[in-house]
Structure 1
Amino acid sequence: EQNPHHPCQIELYRDFAPYSFLFKERYPDGSLGVVGGLVYHGCPDRSCCFIDRPFHGWATHT
């Protein structure tokens, strides 16, 4: 993030679900901000995430 008053880095990680990834917002002091994932819900849905209604596409999970 380019905020000079509160800079952070976004770390990306592999997820086991196809076409999905995890992310962490990390600050210079080592603390974390938002942690979550961008998860693809396909057919069949192999994400193992809870969703209210089945759909095809990406959803954020934090």
Structure 2
Amino acid sequence: MVFSPSFPNFRKIIVTNTEYFVVSTLGNIHGSSYILFRVVGNYIVYTSKIIYKILNNVFWTPLTQQGVVV
């Protein structure tokens, strides 16, 4: 999987001042399965899918726009 701002299901959100990068595995950002990553230094770190349940109702923004603080 390519992590790129142009990847259509790739999103950035900000949760308690931490940026997370979200990929929907169903081809639909409103689907029920997400992969959530965060960036630590130069590394992309996988974060537990449990977190997405807390974030189901947040506003998802394109990676090129301002993230959302929740």
Q: Give the TM-score, by structure 1 length.
A: 0.38
> 1 or 2 for the larger relative contact order (CA 8 Å, sep ≥6)?
2
Q: Which has the higher strand share?
A: 1
